[in-house]
Every structure is written in C-alpha cells, then in structure tokens.
A = this chain, B = another copy of it.
C-alpha cells in the first residue's frame, strides 16, 4: 500500500540550505535524485522509480543505484529519528538542526530489483548512542524485499 505523503514534509527538504546539495537527496541539486524520506509513525518511508538507464543486467536495477538511495534514505531516516527522539516537530519546522552523514553502509542484495517498478524504502531505528545512529532498512518491489540495508549515521556537530 502506497502511503499518502502529500501532507508530510520530507526530511531532506528541512535540511539547511548550505547542507542540501547531496546528489542523492539534496533539494538544491537539480541534477540529482532528490530522494524524499518521510517519517510515518515509528518508521520512515521513501518511494523511488529508477530511470531505465540505471540497469545492471537487463531488466534489473544496478546495485549502485540501490546503494545510493538506501544511503540517502538512511541518513534522512537517522535525522528524522533524532528529531523524533528530541521532540523536534517536523510539521511546523522549515529547517531542522540535524544533519547526518554515513560512516558505514551495508547492503544485502537478496533478489534482483526489477526495472520499471516503484521501489518502496523503509527505515527503522535500531539505536541512538550520542551522535551515532543505527538504522535498518528494506527495499521492496512488487511486495518482495529485494535488498536490506543497515547504516551507521553520524550526526554532524552544529
């Protein structure tokens, strides 16, 4: 089921302008993917449909694209979970004082990811320990988990 995100703010759109140039998810990068991560209850969600050029073997999405969107969904999820943990509202905010970068990214490719299908990315918080945030992720296509990911994100100092 596709969650309606129309009335939600994407985490990446709340990054400060000077930290919003990421190719994968920055609102200020017109050439990039502009992935949007939303906090929905206790989990995060993002949707993405790769262009056909991002092929691996014919018919499937290449691993680099999968790693890219899971990386950005992971850092976005980490920022969202920190905000939730610190009672920083995402509804009223125009920017958030939280930005995370990736220290470690691990992807398990469980099934080929089909081309031409909207991919659903989900994130769940594993732990927050000071500036270290661990997030577990799934990437699903047609109801089948094609990849799982885990990320250790580091919160940037102010």
The minimal Cβ–Cβ distance linking A111 to chain B, given in whole angstroms, is 11
Question: Is there a chain B Cβ closer than 8 Å to A105's Cβ?
Answer: yes
Stretch at the interface among A68-76, A86-94, A122-130: A68-76
Report if A102 contacts B (CB, 8 A).
yes
Number of copies of this chain that the complex holds: 2
Instruction: With CB as the reference atom, state the residue of chain B lying closest to A64.
Output: B68
Tell me the interface secondary structure of chain A in the complex.
mixed
Which of the segments A6-14, A36-44, A51-59 contacts the partner chain?
A: A51-59
Which residue in B21, B53, B72, B109 is a CB contact (below 8 Å) of A55?
Answer: B21
Which of A21, A53, A63, A109 has the most C-beta atoms of chain B within 10 angstroms of its own C-beta? Answer: A63
Q: How far is the CB of A46 from chain B (nearest CB, A)?
A: 14
Contact of A22 among B32, B62, B67 (CB under 8 A): B62
Query: Across the interface, which residues of B come within 8 angstroms of A109, CB to CB?
Result: 101-105
In the complex, the answer to whether B107 meets A64 with C-beta atoms within 8 Å is no
Tell me whether B108 and A107 are in contact (CB under 8 A). Answer: no
Q: Which residues of A contact B (CB under 8 A)?
A: 18-19, 21-24, 26, 29, 31-32, 53-58, 62-65, 67-69, 71-72, 101-109
Given contacts A32-B53, A105-B106, 11 further A-B contacts (CB under 8 A): A19-B57, A22-B62, A23-B55, A24-B64, A56-B101, A63-B102, A65-B68, A67-B68, A104-B106, A104-B108, A105-B107
